[in-house]
């Protein structure tokens, strides 16, 4: 699709006026003495999609990983629905983080399990007990909720297919359904479409935008294609060398801003 690389008009209305659910302030992170995040702060609101853009190594994934708890920030504040996560540990932290789900470029489904079983796994934090031992013990209401989530992402007809037999786009939809079954209100997506062909990438981004707008989810997605952001995101956070260069409405992502984010000498890590 040659038009994929043109700055096409966005197809979604602005929905960024929802209630703030995640507030990040002054996040800093170094690896081996090298600062890779330097005072990163932003707010995610329910009902909107925020695209994280920036050159390789600018700190996009590290930002999401710090929010999700997969990396520990050196300093900064992460408040989810008013609760400061950096002050919590152990089960208190796990409980506070439960409303956040993450989807990745490399889709972490269990290939020998069906799509339905993988989606049910999103809810095991709520069920535990026998249900966590084997899908044989999944309660009926859990399977019904998982089927509803699969229907929401257009995958009902593949519910009983082994995950290992799904295409990349289908598997990513199942991963999103798993997040829905987790009843996440914040969905952090780290390069969710980087491994997908252009059509599947469009479809998955359109799905994320639809879920944000219709289910009032806050979605943050690390993207490598500004044109996908232009079509499906409401807001953009642009990083250069671990600092926020731009944060605001998608309309600010014009060609000059794209140059600022991706010009090699500014973006050198």
| Helices 168-181 and 198-215: angle between axes, nearest 10 degrees | 20
Residue of the chain from 48, 58, 114, 182 that contacts ligand ATP (CB under 6 A): 58
70 binds ligand ATP (CB under 6 A): no
Residue of the chain from 10, 15, 46, 60 that contacts ligand ATP (CB under 6 A): 60
Neighbouring C-alpha atoms within 13 Å toward the C-beta of 224: 13
57 binds ligand ATP (CB under 6 A): yes
46 binds ligand ATP (CB under 6 A): no
Shortest distance, position 204 Cβ to ligand ATP, whole Å:
18
Q: Are 210 and 144 in contact (CB under 8 A)?
A: no
Task: Write the CA distances from 250 to 7, 78, 198, 235, integer angstroms.
Answer: 11, 24, 21, 5
Q: Are 102 and 182 in contact (CB under 8 A)?
A: no
170 binds ligand ATP (CB under 6 A): no
Q: Closest CB to ligand ATP among 74 and 141?
A: 74
135 binds ligand ATP (CB under 6 A): no
- Pick the piece of the chain touching ligand ATP (CB under 6 A) from 54-62, 78-86, 172-180, 230-238: 54-62
Strand bridging mode 48-54 / 218-222: parallel
# residues near ligand ATP by CB under 6 A: 11
Distance from first CA to last CA of the chain, Å, rounded? 31
Residue of the chain from 61, 114, 170, 185 that contacts ligand ATP (CB under 6 A): 61
Q: Closest CB to ligand ATP among 11 and 269?
A: 269
Q: Is the dihedral of CA 66, 197, 53, 218 positive or negative?
A: negative
Residue of the chain from 27, 36, 115, 244 that contacts ligand ATP (CB under 6 A): 36
Distance separating alpha carbons of residues 236 and 22, to the nearest angstrom: 15
31 binds ligand ATP (CB under 6 A): yes
Binding residues (CB under 6 A) for ligand ATP: these are 31, 36, 54, 56-62, 269
């Amino acid at each position: 699709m040659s038009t994929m690389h043109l700055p096409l008009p966005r197809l979604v209305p602005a929905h960024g006026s929802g209630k703030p659910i995640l507030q990040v302030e002054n996040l800093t992170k170094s690896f081996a003495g090298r600062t890779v995040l330097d005072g990163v702060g932003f707010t995610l609101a329910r009902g909107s999609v925020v695209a994280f853009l920036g050159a390789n190594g600018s700190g996009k994934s590290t930002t999401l990983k710090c929010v999700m708890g997969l990396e520990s920030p050196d300093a900064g504040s992460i408040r989810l629905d008013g609760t400061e996560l950096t002050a919590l540990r152990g089960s208190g932290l796990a409980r506070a983080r439960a409303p956040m789900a993450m989807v990745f470029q490399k889709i972490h489904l269990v290939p020998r399990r069906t799509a339905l079983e993988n989606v049910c796994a999103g809810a095991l934090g709520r069920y535990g007990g026998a249900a966590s031992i084997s899908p044989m013990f999944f309660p009926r209401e859990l399977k019904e909720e998982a089927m509803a989530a699969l229907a929401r992402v257009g995958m009902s007809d593949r519910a009983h297919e082994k995950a290992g037999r799904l295409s990349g786009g289908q598997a990513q939809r199942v991963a999103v359904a798993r997040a829905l079954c987790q009843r996440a209100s914040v969905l952090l997506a780290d390069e969710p479409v980087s491994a997908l062909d252009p059509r599947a990438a469009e479809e998955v981004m359109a799905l994320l935008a639809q879920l944000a707008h219709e289910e009032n989810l806050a979605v943050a997605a690390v993207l490598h294609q500004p044109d996908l952001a232009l079509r499906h995101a409401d807001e953009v956070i642009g990083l250069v060398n671990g600092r926020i260069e731009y944060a605001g409405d998608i309309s600010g992502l014009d060609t000059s801003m794209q140059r600022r984010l991706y010009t090699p000498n500014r973006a050198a890590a």
